């Protein structure tokens, strides 16, 4: 630190603009000695200060305007960066308000700073974590009320403290008395001390000094952090060293290129780290000569990796000039090339001529530049996050024992697969539980190519293509067949019959029974429940359409569900929509989702199985169905459901619920609906679940822990909601929401759960019957009506697909009633399965089957 004390020939001091930015200039001012007061006047003055503080509330808006005016004027430059300095905020920590705290308060008010006050360490920490002030001023004059240094250490232990200036207010000592050392306070984390003085002008000067000094410096440091973050994410290897070539910084690309970690190279000579025989002996001298002249050096430089391998790199080295025009740092940027680099000219020098770079090179005109461009193209890398992980593991292998290298090879083999989130458990389950294995394989696999066993073939005689086969063929609903609603129904909620309205009145509870609604509406539950639910969520106002359009659309959609299906019919669609609406009413979802998200969730639930033929994707692929051909065997039904929903909606203006949406809003809504419908494909179940657990559950848990440790209120803090409300996280949540709604049957009340269990089993029975009759591969052999144990299949489904997903969703949005039903139903199926097992042993039935069970 230097004092600007030289006087010019004209008797004036140098202008501030003449002093470089790298120099700290300190001014020495006369010492202010506050006038002495007796205790009576001091108390009287204190009362006046408190009375003045009461008027602050009255002048709030004036102060707000002053803050806004002030915040628009503070622009800070850091090299080419333009930074905006916000209005400074201050936290005062004084056990008791006195003339000193009032002095800072009024000084902050006059300047236009934001100011808060705390009277104990607990409220100080709470205010600090909530307000994130730029400056904290702590009363360090008396340790009777709290330990100022302990509070400072607590503040410094938080993550954001590096951007905070912490100031201690210390006692004023007589001139003849020796002051204690401030070093312990500096060690505790204080940046500065202010000797007590209640004078408002003095307090204003101190605060202004802080704003244009320490606070502004911290703003620049935070900007530097952004620059370093950018450097860590570029593909070129960047190295920053001192004028003596001592390495001070390397980025992640440098670590990948050389194989060295930053800890291994920092503080070492950069030329010694990569030294090798491939570079010509005088190359370093040539580079240094160019740098000393203030010139750039650009060319091919051979880099020795930690493993001993030597790589050619296209290297750009430039000097950074500091104080006095001397070199303060050297920047080296390397980009690895291919073996064709030997055709390049070994070095190219650049010089600064009239502010422009001029190239000094030899060879045919234009050839070096062309060759250099080719080398750059070969060295370009397009990195994904998984590529970075693989590169880190590759670098770790180079310095690891052989056992670790072999283990990491297995890790790399797994990471290079395309299904990172899909579990690898098929073989284990085949050995332990054939029923669970067949169930999982049938639901998760897209195309199961099983050969028919002789026992199956014996059931299909030589006339299988005759009467029996034709009967099954005629009963099989094609993807075109559907049952239209035969009779007109009401299109207004006000005209709903009383016996239907009585059931609909319970739709806000989880105990709502959609099976009862199916019976009283003559298999038209989707129209009535859909109209009420969509109206409750404000579809008419949000989409700017009439209620009749919504009713017409629901009629059309319900008509395209196959009433002949025992499970995948409009009742299932109404059930999934009800579950989705129930989930949307959870407090956390109401905070995270907007109305667009809610509409997307409800519409996706309504159409998610539209025109379902009652057969699985694997069945359609195996029979070479035209839908499977159309969608290339990928998510056949899910693609069909979403595509048909939009085709039907846009066909007729009287049913087009999207017709009045803005183009951008429609695109967002359509994208969300399609994504959610595609998420119901069971093949992607574990991928979606693992993403939800890693991104949402673990993120919430981490923020919960941080919140509880800091005492910063409830888990649903602004920070948590901001993170959950990001587009990517909202997508993860919506996928799990519709997946839970789609398979919520095991979490319904027991009588409803049992009914759905029977219905899905019957639909799978029909598929197995048809597969056998037509000689197709049997996708789920376990669903054979002659050998099935329904309780066992329910237990397997819950164990594999339900438990973890609903526990994770419960951790996120709190659905205890579902978990209670799930536990009750699981216990029921378990007891029922044990009863069937015992009965089958007594009656000696094959595969533990009873007539009652099937």
As a whole number of angstroms, the distance between CA 505 and CA 12 comes to 87
As a whole number of angstroms, the distance between CA 546 and CA 657 comes to 9
Per the structure block, which two tokens stand in for 772? 């056998």
Per the structure block, which two tokens stand in for 593? 């989702």
As a whole number of angstroms, the distance between CA 286 and CA 271 comes to 13
Per the structure block, which two tokens stand in for 469? 């086969």
Q: Which residue has the tokens 């210390």?
A: 170
832 forms beta bridges with none
Q: How far apart are the first and last CA of the chain?
A: 90
Task: Give Cα separations from 623 to 450, 536, 628, 629, 639 (angstroms).
Answer: 13, 43, 9, 10, 18
Pairing mode of beta strands 237-242, 247-250: antiparallel
CB 517 within 8 A of CB 525: yes
Of 689, 694, 699, whose CA–CA distance to 803 is shortest?
689
Instruction: Encode 327-357: b = buried (16+ Cβ within 10 Å), e = exposed.
Output: beebebbbbbbeeebeebeebbbbeeeeeee
Alpha carbon dihedral 429, 435, 439, 442, in 10-degree steps, equals 90
Q: Is 325 left (phi over 0), alpha (psi -120 to 50) or beta?
A: left
Q: Is 314 a catalytic residue?
A: no
As a whole number of angstroms, the distance between CA 647 and CA 645 comes to 6
Count of helices and strands (H, E) across the chain: 39, 14
Instruction: Quickly list DSSP for 337-383.
Output: --GGGGGS-SEEEEEEETTEEEEE--SSTTHHHHHHHHHHHHH----
All residues at 6 or more sequence positions from 354 whose CB lies less than 8 Å from its CB, including other chains: none
Per the structure block, which two tokens stand in for 219? 């703003």
Of 339, 407, 431, whose CA–CA distance to 378 is shortest?
339
Alpha carbon dihedral 224, 225, 226, 229, in 10-degree steps, equals 130
Secondary structure of residue 227 in the 3-state scheme: helix
Read off φ and ψ for residue 311, nearest 5 degrees: -120, 135
Instruction: Quickly list DSSP for 190-226.
Output: --EEEE----HHHHHHHHHHHIIIIIHHHHHHHHHHH
Task: Give Cα separations from 41 to 32, 47, 49, 491, 763 (angstroms).
Answer: 20, 10, 12, 81, 92
Per the structure block, which two tokens stand in for 271? 């030329």
Pairing mode of beta strands 347-353, 192-195: unpaired
Task: Give Cα separations from 364 to 368, 369, 370 (angstroms).
Answer: 8, 10, 11
Catalytic residue of the set 316, 568, 572, 608? 568
* Catalytic site positions: 568
């Amino acid at each position: 630190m230097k004092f600007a004390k030289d006087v010019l020939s004209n008797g004036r001091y140098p202008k501030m603009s003449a002093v470089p930015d790298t120099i700290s200039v300190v001014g020495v001012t006369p010492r202010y000695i506050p006038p002495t007061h007796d205790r009576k006047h001091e108390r009287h003055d204190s009362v006046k200060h408190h009375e003045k503080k009461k008027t602050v509330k009255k002048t709030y808006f004036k102060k707000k305007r002053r803050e806004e005016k002030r915040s628009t004027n503070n622009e800070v430059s850091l090299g080419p960066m333009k930074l905006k300095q916000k209005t400074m905020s201050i936290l005062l920590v004084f056990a008791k308000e006195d003339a000193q705290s009032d002095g800072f308060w009024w000084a902050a008010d006059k300047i236009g700073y934001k100011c808060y006050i705390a009277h104990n360490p607990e409220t100080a920490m709470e205010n600090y974590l909530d307000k994130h002030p730029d400056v904290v001023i702590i009363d360090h004059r008396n340790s009777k009320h709290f330990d100022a240094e302990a509070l400072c250490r607590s503040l410094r232990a938080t993550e954001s403290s590096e951007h905070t200036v912490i100031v201690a207010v210390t006692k004023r000592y007589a001139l003849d008395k020796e002051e204690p050392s401030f070093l312990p306070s500096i060690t505790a984390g204080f940046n500065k001390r202010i000797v007590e003085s209640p004078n408002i002008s003095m307090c204003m000067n101190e605060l202004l000094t802080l704003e244009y000094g320490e606070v502004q410096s911290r703003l620049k440091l935070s900007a530097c952090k952004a620059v370093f973050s950018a450097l860590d994410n570029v593909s070129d290897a960047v190295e920053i060293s001192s004028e003596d070539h001592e390495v001070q910084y390397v980025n992640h690309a440098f670590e990948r290129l050389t194989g060295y970690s930053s800890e291994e190279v920092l503080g070492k000579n950069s030329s010694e780290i990569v030294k090798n025989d491939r570079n010509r002996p005088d190359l370093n001298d040539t580079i240094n000569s160019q740098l000393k002249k203030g010139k750039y050096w650009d060319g091919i430089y051979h880099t020795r990796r930690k493993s001993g391998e030597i790589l050619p790199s296209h290297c750009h080295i430039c000097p950074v000039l500091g104080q006095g025009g001397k070199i303060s740092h050297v920047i080296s940027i390397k980009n690895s090339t291919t073996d064709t680099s030997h055709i390049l000219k070994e070095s190219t020098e650049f010089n600064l001529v009239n502010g422009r770079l001029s190239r000094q090179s030899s060879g045919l005109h234009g050839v070096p530049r062309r060759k250099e461009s080719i080398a750059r193209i070969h060295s370009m890398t397009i990195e994904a996050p998984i590529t970075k992980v693989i590169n880190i593991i590759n670098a770790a292998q180079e310095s690891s024992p052989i056992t670790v290298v072999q283990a990491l090879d297995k890790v790399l083999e797994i990471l290079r697969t395309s299904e990172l989130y899909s579990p690898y458990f098929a073989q284990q389950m085949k050995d332990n539980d054939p029923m669970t294995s067949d169930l999982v394989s049938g639901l998760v696999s897209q195309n199961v190519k099983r050969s028919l066993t002789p026992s199956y073939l014996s059931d299909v005689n030589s006339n299988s293509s005759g009467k029996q086969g034709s009967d099954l063929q005629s009963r099989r609903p094609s993807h075109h067949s559907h049952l239209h609603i035969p009779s007109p129904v009401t299109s207004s909620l006000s005209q709903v019959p009383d016996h239907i309205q009585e059931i609909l009145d319970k739709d806000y509870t989880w105990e709502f029974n959609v099976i009862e609604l199916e019976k009283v509406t003559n298999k038209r539950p989707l129209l009535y429940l859909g109209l009420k639910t969509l109206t409750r969520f404000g579809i008419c106002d949000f989409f700017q359409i009439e209620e009749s359009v919504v009713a017409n659309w629901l009629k059309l959609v319900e008509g395209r569900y196959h009433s002949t299906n025992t499970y995948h019919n409009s009742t299932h669609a109404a059930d999934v929509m009800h579950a989705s609406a129930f989930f949307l009413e959870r407090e956390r979802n109401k905070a995270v989702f907007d109305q667009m998200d809610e509409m997307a969730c409800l519409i996706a639930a309504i159409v998610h199985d539209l025109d379902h033929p009652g057969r699985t994707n694997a069945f359609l692929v195996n029979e070479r169905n035209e839908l499977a051909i159309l969608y290339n065997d990928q998510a056949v039904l899910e693609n069909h459901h979403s595509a048909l929903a939009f085709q039907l909606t846009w066909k007729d203006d009287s049913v087009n619920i999207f017709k009045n949406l803005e183009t951008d809003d429609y695109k967002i809504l359509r994208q969300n609906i399609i994504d959610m419908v595609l998420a119901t494909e069971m093949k992607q179940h574990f991928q979606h679940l693992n993403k939800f657990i890693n991104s949402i559950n673990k993120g919430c848990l981490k923020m919960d822990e941080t919140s509880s440790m800091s005492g910063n209120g409830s888990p649903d803090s602004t920070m948590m909601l901001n993170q959950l409300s990001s587009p990517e996280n909202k997508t993860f949540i919506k996928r799990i929401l519709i997946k839970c709604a789609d398979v919520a049957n095991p979490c319904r009340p027991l009588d409803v759960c049992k009914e759905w269990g029977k219905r899905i089993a019957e639909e799978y029975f029909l598929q197995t019957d048809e597969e056998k009759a037509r000689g197709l591969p049997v996708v789920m052999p376990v669903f054979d009506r002659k050998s099935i144990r329904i309780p066992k299949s329910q237990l397997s489904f819950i164990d594999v697909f339900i438990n973890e997903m609903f526990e994770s969703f419960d951790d996120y949005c709190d659905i205890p009633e579902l978990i209670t039903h799930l536990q009750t139903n699981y216990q029921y199926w378990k007891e029922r399965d044990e009863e069937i097992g015992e009965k089958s042993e007594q009656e000696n039935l094959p595969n533990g089957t009873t007539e009652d069970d099937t």
